[in-house]
DNA sequence: GGAACTCGCCAC
DNA sequence: AAACGTGGCGAGTTCC
């Protein structure tokens, strides 16, 4: 039996979802206000110290002289003028409106020690002003109740606000620790976070059914990112277990090539992203003995030069071929689906997601391809969230408190942990694909658990039971 | 003094 | 030929 969800089903999902998310909002989470205040003061002092040091440098002296009483170290407008007009540095990149960029990627390409301090200040301010400040502002008697909206996003995903619970630092360890240290479970409880692994890639596969991708998703020993890393860096004996260096290149490939390609990016951006964010290789000629480590005592540039890739331009040309192979051979069925999907939209003026949601209006090609995947992937999380709430409410002390697109955050009582973990696994990996049989790839979830009474930065990998 | 804008940056 | 999808939010800036 093959039952496609209709617009009625989509409508019901939204309504159930709104009620369930409202319950999570009402539940809320504990926030350590005293800690936030302490940390804010600490960060303010730290920023002041860096600013004091910066004031002694020629760059800032000149900056002050030019801007007089308007001088503001947080003004990127002023910084751009100093760098690109006064000092006549050629902007490595420009913004949409044509001004020289002053973002992290750009500043780190300019060889001025002061800019490191400026970036450091930016990072600390971000943590203080966007997160700690917001936590204190939005909390009520030590409780935080972030909003989760279902009516704001074009793809029928969710959004969160006041404070936004969906963008609290995670990758940057320092920022992560400072921000998540503020968030606590109920007394005697513990926080657990469960996320679908590679959900959007899996949901995309439900639409395009590319055989190569299906194999990657069904064979646990296969490794798409590893295969791409081996191809991009011309490595015959690729082994991420054996070589941490290979593991690093795999991560770079995932973030600089595979995912951006799935979102509709192209090779030249990928090549630049690789070089500036990961490989630290220049946009000109590559010198021997530079770039990340490779197994043995060599560096990546040595290896690439030996393979005939001796400069950025060589690398970009190389990436062009990789891209052509990626869509023209490796995932050619995926490519064909993209073409047909866009063509159908152009004829009809709308498309329907597998979850019954209809998108219409004028959309660019990349939007037409991305929306159905992004939306339906989130709906998998939402469906699971609703089911979990139905099971837990009234019967368990554990409760759902938040959601981040493909992840759910619960506040569990330790006595219920094992049972709740089993329920989560069952709902997400068994019940969901049974309810929506357009899901034709296996789904999997990973979990992180915090200690009892431990804050959200203390999470450690937690193995969920099989079902 | 607020609205609307740009830019930068955090998450998925 | 074109060229990264979805948000929220803070600070600076410009305009009314």
The angle formed by the CA atoms of residues A390, A411 and A134, to the nearest 5 degrees, is 115
pLDDT in tens, A298-355: 999 999 999 999 999 999 999 999 999 999 999 999 999 999 999 999 999 999 999 9
Q: How confident is the model at residue A2 (pLDDT cuts 50, 70, 90)?
A: low
Across A262-386, where does the E strand assignment appear? 350-352, 358-360
Average pLDDT of the segment spanning A77-82: 92
Distance A51 CA to C15 C1' (A): 32
Distance A117 CA to C8 C1' (A): 26
Determine the pLDDT at residue A1: 54
What is the biggest distance separating any 2 CA atoms in chain A, rounded to whole angstroms? Answer: 75
User: Nearest-CA residue to the C1' of C4?
Assistant: A265
Q: Please check the confidence at residue A363 and state whether its pLDDT lies above 80.
A: yes
Determine contact, residues A244/A293, Cβ cutoff 8 Å: no
Q: Which residues fall inside 7 Å of strand B, measured at CB?
A: A 76, 80, 95-99, 101-106, 119, 122-123, 126, 130, 166-172, 175-176, 195, 404-407
Determine contact, residues A257/A232, Cβ cutoff 8 Å: yes
Counts for chain A of helices (H) and strands (E), in that order:
20, 12
Domains recognised in chain A with CATH numbers:
7-28+145-201+372-462 (3.30.70.370), 35-122 (no CATH), 213-330 (no CATH)
User: Nearest-CA residue to the C1' of B6?
Assistant: A97
**Cα torsion angle, A201, A207, A211, A217, sign:** positive
Q: How confident is the model at residue A467 (pLDDT cuts 50, 70, 90)?
A: confident
Q: Is the pTM of this model over 0.85?
A: yes
Which nt is closest to the CA of A152, judged by C1'?
A: C7
| CA A89/CA A356 separation, integer angstroms | 53
Which nt is closest to the CA of A371, judged by C1'?
A: C5
Q: Which residues, in sequence order, are bridge partners of residue A31?
A: A183
Distance A46 CA to C13 C1' (A): 27
| Structure-token match 């170290």, residue found | A73
pLDDT in tens, A242-292: 999 999 999 999 999 999 999 999 999 999 999 988 999 998 999 999 999
Interstrand relation of A143-144 and A29-31 (parallel, antiparallel or unpaired): antiparallel
Within 7 Å of a protein beta carbon, the nucleotides of strand C are: 2-14
Which nt is closest to the CA of A377, judged by C1'?
A: B12
User: Nearest-CA residue to the C1' of B9?
Assistant: A126
pLDDT in tens, A177-209: 999 999 999 999 999 999 999 999 999 999 999
The angle formed by the CA atoms of residues A361, A207 and A427, to the nearest 5 degrees, is 105
């Amino acid at each position: 039996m093959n039952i496609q969800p209709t617009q009625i089903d989509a409508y019901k999902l939204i309504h159930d979802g709104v009620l369930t998310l409202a319950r999570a909002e009402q539940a809320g989470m504990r926030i350590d206000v005293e800690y936030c205040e302490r940390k804010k003061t600490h960060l303010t002092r730290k920023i002041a110290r860096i600013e004091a040091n910066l004031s002694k440098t020629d760059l800032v002296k000149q900056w002050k002289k030019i801007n007089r009483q308007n001088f503001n170290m947080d003004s990127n407008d002023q910084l751009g003028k100093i760098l690109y007009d006064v000092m006549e540095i050629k902007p490595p990149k420009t913004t949409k409106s044509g001004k020289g960029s002053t973002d992290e990627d750009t500043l780190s390409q300019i060889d001025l020690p002061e800019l490191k301090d400026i970036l450091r200040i930016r990072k600390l301010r971000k943590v203080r002003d966007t997160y700690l400040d917001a936590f204190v502002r939005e909390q009520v008697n030590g409780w935080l109740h972030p909003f989760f909206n279902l009516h704001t996003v074009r793809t029928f995903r969710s959004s969160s606000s006041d404070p936004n619970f969906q963008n609290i630092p995670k990758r940057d360890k320092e920022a992560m620790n400072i921000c998540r240290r503020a968030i606590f479970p109920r007394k005697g409880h513990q926080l657990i976070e469960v996320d679908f692994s590679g959900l959007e890639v899996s949901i995309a596969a439900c639409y395009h059914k590319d055989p190569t991708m299906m194999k990657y998703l069904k064979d646990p020993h296969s490794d798409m990112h590893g295969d791409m890393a081996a191809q991009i860096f011309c490595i015959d004996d690729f082994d991420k277990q054996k070589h941490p260096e290979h593991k690093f290149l795999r991560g770079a490939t995932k973030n600089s090539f595979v995912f951006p390609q799935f979102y509709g990016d192209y090779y030249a951006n990928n090549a630049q992203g690789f070089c500036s964010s990961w490989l630290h290789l220049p946009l000109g000629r590559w010198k021997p003995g530079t770039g990340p480590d490779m197994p043995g005592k060599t560096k990546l540039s040595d290896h690439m030069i030996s393979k005939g890739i001796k400069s950025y331009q060589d690398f970009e040309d190389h990436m062009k071929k990789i891209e052509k192979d990626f869509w023209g051979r490796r995932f050619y069925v995926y490519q064909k689906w993209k073409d047909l999907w866009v063509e159908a939209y152009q004829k009809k003026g709308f498309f329907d997601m597998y979850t019954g949601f209809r998108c219409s209006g004028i959309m660019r090609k990349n939007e037409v391809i991305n929306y159905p995947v992004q939306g339906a992937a989130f709906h998998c999380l939402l469906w699971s969230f609703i089911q979990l709430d139905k099971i837990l409410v009234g019967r368990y002390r554990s409760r759902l408190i938040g959601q981040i697109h493909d992840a759910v955050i619960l506040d569990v009582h330790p006595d219920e942990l094992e049972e709740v973990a089993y329920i989560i696994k069952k709902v997400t990996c068994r019940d969901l694909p049974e309810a929506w049989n357009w899901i034709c790839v296996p789904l999997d979830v990973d979990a992180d658990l915090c200690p009892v009474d431990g804050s959200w930065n203390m999470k450690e990998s937690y193995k969920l039971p099989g079902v």
